């Protein structure tokens, strides 16, 4: 039954980050728990059977949104709703806000955290496409020190990350300076509007300078073992004059960037079709926002 | 190393509560089994149905996924708290509009509707659908639920 978390799992509630890092370093077979909208379910169903769980969701020092020199710094246990409600995010990283708007529903958004969404490393992670577009940097800390991991190197496979076993994600850094004055768009398809797990989502940013596309970044989830950038599409567009033809032509190339599977939610063919369609729509919408189309 | 029990102190429906709980205890079990607040319904247990929705510091969360240690020093409202002084306008509207079939999902819907009316006093039908999208009714009585919530909104605004 799903009433309780199994009793053979020992829960520990550290008082601060330092204690959390020491515990994770010292213990074997340990999981860090933040919001719990994924992990609590996984503990109940037995998908994960750690011996220890270290609860970091209550660590206030990991809950903040700061603007610093062209980058946003978001504490790992900041909730999705806090990101959605944040004026700084709306102003500096509107694409991230757009993705959180379509993230599950109220009750989940109030609990789920941005660090948890990334560390859960679902191919369908909702915050991954916008963060891939911003080329976010993940700060990982351990008792040994801290290091910065570019988000493109963070996901290693379904439910697998680049984190070492003693490391915790403590902060997500979102550089936005390069993408100011660009057009953005986010599209997500699920079985139910904005609620269900993504079947395909596309995040897009386009910058037009001197009549040509000077920067374009596209990222998708749920169409590969990890959330991916659409480099083939991007390469075709860069330096080109925006037109319907080039959008049409380039969006078809997204199939070379993705490797979807058939599962309970959708077959391959549908995901490929929707990836192409959403890529086209995302490019159109983003270009419209730049005012050139 | 072994921390077996944790002291938590919080407010439920205005009442101060102090308990020793296991750090793995879920809020739904604390509220239902220890405090007798059975309006908090156990539906799916995996965050899909919204039947266990409660307000924590005024924000809706799912009690089946929330650790009791996480509500330490916070303020919790359940349907028992909303209806302390008799039926609320939303409850009355649910009855009048026949928005209840088996009734199991109803407390979650009413909590969410209450939250919405605090945020959006004059909601449109799309606001109602947006705010209630995390709550499932398996008797499929959504039309009457939406009607009831809009009716309660109207009566609140005209009051």
Chain segment B32-51, per-residue pLDDT in tens: 999 999 999 999 999 999 99
Residue pairs between chains A and B whose CB atoms are closer than 8 Å: 92
d(CA A53, CA A15): 14
Q: For residue B146, what are the domain limits?
A: 89-157
Instruction: Please indicate whether, in this complex, the C-beta atoms of B65 and A40 are within 8 angstroms of each other.
Output: yes
Q: Which residue of B has its CA nearest to A26?
A: B1
Q: Are strands A71-75 and A65-68 parallel, antiparallel or unpaired?
A: antiparallel
Among B81, B97, B122, where does a domain finish? B81
Domain membership of residue B132 (yes or no) is yes
CB A20 within 8 A of CB A54: yes
* CA angle centred on B13, ends B53 and A80, rounded to 5°: 40
pLDDT band at residue A261 using 50, 70 and 90 as cut-offs: confident
The closest CB to that of A55, out of B2, B69, B112, belongs to: B69
Residue window 109-138, chain A: list those with CB within 8 Å of chain B: 110-111
Instruction: Flag whether pLDDT at B3 surpasses 60.
Output: no
CB A123 within 8 A of CB A153: no
A212 touching B (Cβ < 8 Å): no
Is residue A194 left, alpha or beta, with left meaning phi > 0 and alpha meaning psi from -120 to 50?
Answer: left
Q: Look at the block and give the residue holding tokens 């000077």.
A: A214
Instruction: Please indicate whether, in this complex, the C-beta atoms of A13 and B69 are within 8 angstroms of each other.
Output: yes
Instruction: Write down the mean pLDDT value for chain B.
Output: 95
| Mean pLDDT of the B84-100 span | 96
Percent of chain A's residues with pLDDT above 70 = 98
| Mean pLDDT of the A14-33 span | 97
**How many other CB atoms sit within 10 Å of the CB of residue B57?**
13
Gap between the terminal Cα atoms of chain A: 54
User: What is the CATH classification number for the domain harbouring A146?
Assistant: 3.30.465.10
Is the same domain home to A169 and A201? no
User: What is the CATH classification number for the domain harbouring B33?
Assistant: 3.10.20.30
Q: Which residue of B has its CA nearest to A108?
A: B61
Q: Give phi and psi for B14, each to the nearest 5.
A: 90, -10
- pLDDT tens, residue by residue, A143-161: 999 999 999 999 999 999 9
Instruction: Please indicate whether, in this complex, the C-beta atoms of B29 and A3 are within 8 angstroms of each other.
Output: yes
Is the same domain home to A278 and A195? yes
pLDDT band at residue A56 using 50, 70 and 90 as cut-offs: very high
pLDDT band at residue A272 using 50, 70 and 90 as cut-offs: very high
B78, two tokens:
């359940």
Is the same domain home to B10 and B77? yes
Is the same domain home to A96 and A168? yes
Q: Give phi and psi for B29, each to the nearest 5.
A: -75, -35
Domain membership of residue A5 (yes or no) is no
Instruction: Flag whether pLDDT at A30 surpasses 60.
Output: yes
Q: How many domains does chain B have?
A: 2
* CA angle centred on A192, ends A186 and A198, rounded to 5°: 45
**Which residues of B are less than 8 Å from A195 in CB distance?**
133-134
Cα distances from B21 to residues A53, B6, B25, B34, B77, in angstroms, run: 16, 5, 7, 10, 19
The closest CB to that of B69, out of A37, A58, A193, belongs to: A58
The closest CB to that of A55, out of B23, B65, B112, belongs to: B23
The yes/no answer to whether this complex scores an ipTM above 0.90 is yes
Is the same domain home to A126 and A190? no
Instruction: Write down the mean pLDDT value for chain A.
Output: 95
- Which sign, positive or negative, has the C-alpha torsion A39, A82, A142, A27? negative
A49, two tokens:
């059977």
Q: Are strands A71-75 and A137-142 parallel, antiparallel or unpaired?
A: unpaired
Instruction: Flag whether pLDDT at B2 surpasses 60.
Output: no
Is the same domain home to A204 and A254? yes
* CA angle centred on A97, ends A92 and A98, rounded to 5°: 120
| Mean pLDDT of the B151-159 span | 90
Note the pLDDT of residue A193.
59
**Which residues of B are less than 8 Å from A3 in CB distance?**
26, 28-29, 42, 45
User: What is the CATH classification number for the domain harbouring A235?
Assistant: 3.30.390.50
pLDDT band at residue A263 using 50, 70 and 90 as cut-offs: confident
A256 touching B (Cβ < 8 Å): no
Say how far residue A135 (Cα) sits from the centre of its chain. Answer: 11
Note the pLDDT of residue B140.
77
User: What is the CATH classification number for the domain harbouring A47?
Assistant: 3.30.43
Among B16, B51, B81, where does a domain finish? B81
Note the pLDDT of residue A1.
67
Q: Which residue of A has its CA nearest to B60?
A: A107
Domain membership of residue B1 (yes or no) is no
CB A283 within 8 A of CB A251: yes
Query: Quick check: helix, strand or coil at residue A16?
Result: coil
Give the gap in angstroms from C-alpha A176 to the nearest C-alpha of chain B: 30
d(CA A133, CA B23): 38
Note the pLDDT of residue A194.
46
Burial class (CB in 10 A: 0-12, 13-18, 19+), A179: buried
d(CA A80, CA A4): 25
Note the pLDDT of residue B1.
43
CB B42 within 8 A of CB A3: yes
Is the same domain home to A169 and A65? yes
- pLDDT tens, residue by residue, A206-253: 999 999 999 999 999 999 999 999 999 999 999 999 999 999 999 999
d(CA A25, CA A250): 47
Note the pLDDT of residue B79.
98
Percent of chain B's residues with pLDDT above 90 = 94
- pLDDT tens, residue by residue, A180-198: 889 999 999 887 654 678 8
A7 touching B (Cβ < 8 Å): yes
- Which sign, positive or negative, has the C-alpha torsion A75, A80, A81, A85? positive
């Amino acid at each position: 039954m799903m009433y309780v978390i199994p009793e053979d799992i020992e829960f520990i509630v550290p008082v601060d980050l330092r204690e959390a890092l020491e515990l994770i370093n010292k213990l074997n077979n340990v999981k860090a728990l933040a919001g719990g909208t994924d992990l609590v379910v996984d503990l109940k169903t037995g998908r994960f059977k750690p011996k220890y769980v270290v609860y970091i969701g209550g660590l206030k020092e990991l809950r903040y949104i700061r603007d610093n020199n062209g980058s946003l710094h978001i504490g790992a246990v900041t909730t999705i709703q806090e990101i959605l409600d944040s004026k700084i995010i709306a102003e500096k990283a509107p694409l991230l806000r757009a993705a959180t708007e379509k993230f599950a529903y109220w009750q989940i958004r109030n609990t789920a955290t941005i660090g948890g969404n990334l560390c859960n490393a679902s191919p369908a992670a909702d915050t991954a496409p916008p963060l891939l577009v911003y080329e976010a940097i993940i700060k990982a800390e351990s008792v040994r020190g801290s290091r910065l991991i570019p988000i493109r190197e963070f996901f290693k496979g379904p439910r697998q990350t680049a984190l070492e076993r003693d490391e915790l994600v403590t902060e997500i850094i979102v550089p936005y300076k390069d993408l100011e004055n660009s057009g953005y768009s986010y599209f997500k398809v699920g079985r139910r509007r904005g609620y269900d797990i993504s079947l395909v989502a596309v995040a897009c940013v386009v910058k037009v300078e001197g009549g040509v596309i000077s920067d374009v970044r596209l990222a998708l989830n749920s169409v590969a073992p990890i959330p991916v950038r659409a480099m083939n599409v991007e390469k075709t567009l860069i330096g080109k004059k925006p037109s319907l033809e080039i959008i049409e032509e380039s969006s078809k190339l997204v199939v070379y960037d993705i490797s979807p599977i058939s599962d309970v939610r959708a077959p391959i063919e549908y995901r490929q079709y929707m990836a192409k369609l959403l890529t086209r729509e995302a490019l159109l919408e983003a270009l419209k926002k730049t005012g050139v189309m | 190393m072994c921390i077996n029990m944790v002291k938590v102190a919080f407010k439920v429906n205005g009442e101060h509560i102090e308990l020793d709980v296991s750090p793995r205890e879920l809020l739904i079990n604390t509220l239902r089994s220890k405090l007798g607040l059975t309006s908090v319904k156990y539906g799916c247990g995996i965050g899909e149905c919204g039947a266990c929705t409660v307000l924590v510091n005024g924000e809706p969360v799912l009690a089946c996924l929330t650790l009791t240690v996480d509500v330490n020093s916070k303020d919790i409202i359940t349907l028992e708290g909303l209806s302390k002084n008799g039926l609320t306008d939303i409850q009355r509207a649910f009855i009048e509009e026949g928005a209840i079939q088996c009734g199991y999902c109803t407390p979650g819907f009413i909590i969410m509707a209450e939250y919405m009316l605090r945020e959006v006093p004059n909601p449109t039908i799309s606001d109602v659908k947006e705010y209630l999208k995390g709550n499932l009714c398996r008797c499929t009585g959504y039309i009457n639920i939406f009607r009831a919530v809009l009716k309660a909104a109207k009566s609140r605004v005209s009051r």
